[in-house]
Structure 1
């Protein structure tokens, strides 16, 4: 509708208070979020279609061909967690994970081409049907009836099940609000764990046991806005979208990965024979590298580097600092730093930090500041690739007009900083920190006024190389 149409149907006082541009922006922003949700076919009826394969399925079917498939029986591969689905209100008897693990495992075995799965889950149904066939043949053909082919017996039996479902392993979120417009997002990560073992039917020996873990991600985005478009007219709009990774598909991926892992380790240990040993060797080599990488992950699926910071390190850094003292209009000036750091324990390190930079403020105050400090650092996650840290410092700060003279004045100084370090590899780290250092007196800027001592505020980034010696 045109604006002239609204002028005809709305009072003049109301039209005078409408703000067309902000209102349109509000509606367009909400419509954009709603549009993102409407792009999903959740609002449409869809017909049945072939099931979605897991992301591991292609790597399972791409394994080298076997010399001879192994006849394999699966009696039961079930949910052993005993957990029920969470519900905010009331109760439910729905299980937290799928109860169809046996069917999923049988499908993975058949698709891999390494196994000849035989029916054991519904063995009673199978034997009953074979009895019916014998009875009918006997009635019509008598003693001339052909006997049924014997059932295959298995070389190995696969056992195990879904042994763990941990919900909300990690959860979090964030949001913002500016006046009456805001948005928020939340995420939740769960995980499912399965164990699979191969048992010899000849001896009952457990030939191989593997286990896999698959994370399950849930996300939610919401946006809302409110606005008074008139004294007696209030507009409120909201939209959102949520995404929950299907648990059944997560279990399928974990089972596919377990079958692949069992097959490769079986080839490596001589339990299974590949048709092409060279191709199998290449697959085994890649698997060993990926397994070594997986062994470095912790309970929260973070990739760990156990040998981070193996020895003394040297850090070269740069940044900026501001003098907060008794002079007006202090400026932001660059600084450079050189630090020698010695790890004391996985979480602790002690260093000697030297910085040099300019200080200035209104009134022709310009000096060079040199600080030498001892710095004690605490790393929150020392073996992770990314870790926050806290740093406490204490030392001496000297300001002087002439860089070659260090005897003009000096002040004891101490403080702390908060930062984070990213380990490119076990020896090379990139860090960023922000902190404050407070002088023990009020003479750092040459003017002693007020009740607070002078302080230096600043931030820096640095590159550290460890294991110098």
Structure 2
């Protein structure tokens, strides 16, 4: 191959490498408009639950981060690993379900301050009659408590790579997990009516390809491209909270804490899917309660003929 052909090959390879690199670095538009947070599969299940016999007035005083996890260096030594807005996600999920009517409690002091301001602006004539604009605060029937109880990093990692004649490719992945706990408390006696924990897996992966090859006596071709994808942790927390709300509603139906508007909705496909998941969980718990039998191994060996 003469020198002009080698140079032409290098030029084409460089253009190809830059094209691949540009696609890997910016697969989407650099700028975009703000949009509504995309719904998940759990969000669709949440809004398609059958209607209740009556909405439950519920209060949320907070849904805190109880993990104590911080982002690893060099990202930040003081930034938490998970979002601190769990209460906002929980209130939104409660409203989307159609089963709860949330009342403001997290920023109750702000609400009381505004009510005091309205009372202070009343005229003497207004004080002699009831003002419809300011009614009594609605008391809650139940309190939803809980929090983000765990964030486990590098639950599972792995990868694979191959190289041949200066051409190589590799893939790596990492699995994290976030766990939330949610419970309902009866305000009349403080009894915990239902409690549920849900876990969401967070996936991250990285793909790299590279070329390192001599195309001539003194001409070296080197090209690299890569792609990394990480699931947003806050959206995974949102999905785990939504799943906890659905399971909490299902548990309440089983325990007759609340009821359906129409008893025929018990056979609703969405409701039945979560009931089956709850039954599988109960079956796994029954296996853990099985007493230990010291002759179990000997019985298993004799049944296999070993």
TM-score over 0.5 for the pair: yes
> Which of 208, 212, 218 is 1:222 aligned to?
208
Q: Is the 8 A contact 2:25 2:226 kept in 1?
A: no
> Map of 1:10-409 to 2, 5 A cutoff?
14-15=3-4, 20=9, 28=16, 30=17, 33-34=20-21, 37=24, 40-41=27-28, 43-87=29-73, 89=74, 91-138=76-123, 141-144=126-129, 146=131, 148-282=134-268, 284-293=271-280, 344=301
2-structure distance, mates of 1:285, 1:234: 62
CA distance in structure 2 between the aligned counterparts of 1:76 and 1:237, rounded to whole angstroms: 51
Does the 8 A contact of 1:138 with 1:145 survive in 2?
no
The structure with more helix, counted as a fraction of residues: 2
TM-superposed deviation, 1:209: 0.4
| Cα offsets for 1:291-329 (capped at 9, x unmatched) | 34456889xxxxxxxxxxxxxxxxxxxxxxxxxxxxxxx
Give 1:44 shift.
Answer: 1.7
Deviation at 1:227, TM superposition (A): 1.9
Aligned length in residues: 292
Unaligned runs of 5+ in 1: 1-11, 299-341, 352-469
Output the TM-score relative to the length of structure 2. 0.85
| Alpha carbons 2:250, 2:275 under 8 Å: kept | no
SS of 1:253 mapped into structure 2: helix
Alpha-carbon RMSD:
3.0
Structure 1 residues 95, 295: CA separation in 2 closer, same or farther (over 3 Å shift)? farther
**Residues 225 and 343 (structure 1), Cα distance of their counterparts in 2 relative to 1, 3 Å cut:** farther
Counterpart Cα distance in 2 of 1:255 and 1:100: 11
* In structure 2, distance between residues paired with 1:249 and 1:152: 31
Offset at residue 40 of structure 1 (A): 2.8
State TM-score, norm by structure 1: 0.57
The CA distance in 2 between the partners of 1:350 and 1:18, in whole Å, is: 71
| 1:244-297 CA distance string (max 9 Å, x none) | 001011001000000000001111110011101111244554323223445688
Change (3 A) 1:78 1:35: same
Per-residue deviation, 1:91: 4.3
CA contact (8 A) 1:33 1:223 kept: no
The structure number with the bigger radius of gyration is 1
SS at match of 1:251: helix
Q: How far apart are 1:179 and its partner, in Å?
A: 1.5
In structure 2, runs of 5+ residues without a counterpart are 286-298
Structure 1 residues 413-438: Cα deviation after superposition (integer angstroms, max 9, x where no partner):
xxxxxxxxxxxxxxxxxxxxxxxxxx
Residue 134 of structure 1: CA displacement?
Answer: 0.5
